Amino acid sequence: MVRAHVVALTIVLTLASIAGCDLSRLQPSKPTPSPSATSAAPAYLGKPKVGDCHKLTLKNISAESDTKKPVDCSDKHTTRTVAVVTAPAAATRGTNDAQAYAVGKACGPALNKVLGADAETRAKTLYSLAWFMPTKVQKAKGAKWMRCDVTMTDQRHAYALKNKTPFLDDDPDKAERVCGRINPDNEDAWELVPCAVKHQFVPRKYIPAAKGARFKDAEAEAEKVCKSHGPLFTWSHAEKWGSGERFYICWDIIEGSLPKEHGGDEIVV
């Protein structure tokens, strides 16, 4: 199975021409997984349990299966198991988006319960869903589960989670909220980051999708509904759509934050 997304990409950013400066050439940067450990621990093949905590790298989170032993939740950890469900057949068939949709439908309610808050608040954070299937050895022994974890990632890092739920019981802080920046290693790319670091893009207007809206039309609809708010728009990804959280977000550019080759101080929002 090809994992649809590694990081908290419940949104896809489209940059268009702004103030006479063509930003359409900016493309999303690919995640940079953390290096794996030099010496692997013995594979942990126990059945997952709700409430288990895991210290996983970005690379681990992108894998189909996880064979690392859970850690004490009082220690640093980067994912927490929110549900263990019977793996839906659709989670391993069809396109990446179709698989993610099925996963979101199965795992979404548990994820939202652990996160707390409302859909708009959750949409503007780095929290997202990671999921894992049994290994071949586990499947041979009859395992048919799917593990659903909450995680908080951007393109470069998997961040430590709180040891308290719901995570968003209080207003999210800058380390939890999602912002965007031009990739410092490649000015033709952008990346999602915590709002605690320097950034150029901020999510502003949250617009729920109309009843009956289809995921395949989400990009076009996001562009349409955000047209009056500015040229930056995003939409919830397939696993969010599957969970019932279907929305579009219109983004702002922080005044004077862009390099001059991308408009610089001419940008006013």
Which tokens go with 155?
A: 């393109």
Which tokens go with 107?
A: 């795992």
Is the separation of the CB atoms in 39 and 60 below 8 Å?
no
Inside any domain, residue 8: no
Is the separation of the CB atoms in 189 and 183 below 8 Å?
yes
Is the separation of the CB atoms in 153 and 193 below 8 Å?
no
- With tokens 């349990």, the residue in question is 49
Paired sense of beta strands 232-235 and 247-253, if any? antiparallel
Inside any domain, residue 18: no
The total of structural domains in the chain comes to 1
Inside any domain, residue 14: no
What angle is formed at CA 246 by the lines to CA 12 and CA 13, rounded to 5 degrees? 10
- The predicted-structure confidence for 239-269, as pLDDT tens digits, reads as follows 999 999 999 999 898 876 766 555 443 332 2
Is the separation of the CB atoms in 43 and 20 below 8 Å?
no
- With tokens 């059945």, the residue in question is 47
- The predicted-structure confidence for 104-124, as pLDDT tens digits, reads as follows 999 999 999 999 999 999 999
- With tokens 């988006």, the residue in question is 97
Domain of 91 in residue numbering reads as 27-266
Inside any domain, residue 20: no
Which tokens go with 267?
A: 């940008």
Inside any domain, residue 53: yes
pTM here?
A: 0.82
Q: Tell me if the bond preceding 184 is cis, omega within 30° of 0.
A: no
Is the separation of the CB atoms in 249 and 204 below 8 Å?
yes
Instruction: Give pLDDT, residue 11.
Output: 37
Taking only Cα atoms into account, the Rg of the chain, rounded to an integer number of angstroms, comes to 19
Inside any domain, residue 4: no
Above 80 in pLDDT, residue 22?
no
- The predicted-structure confidence for 52-79, as pLDDT tens digits, reads as follows 999 999 999 999 999 999 999 999 999 9
Inside any domain, residue 17: no
Inside any domain, residue 1: no
Instruction: Give pLDDT, residue 43.
Output: 84
Asked which of 2-11, 124-133, 255-264 is least confident by mean pLDDT, the reply is 2-11
Distance CA 80, CA 200 (A): 30
Is the separation of the CB atoms in 149 and 54 below 8 Å?
yes
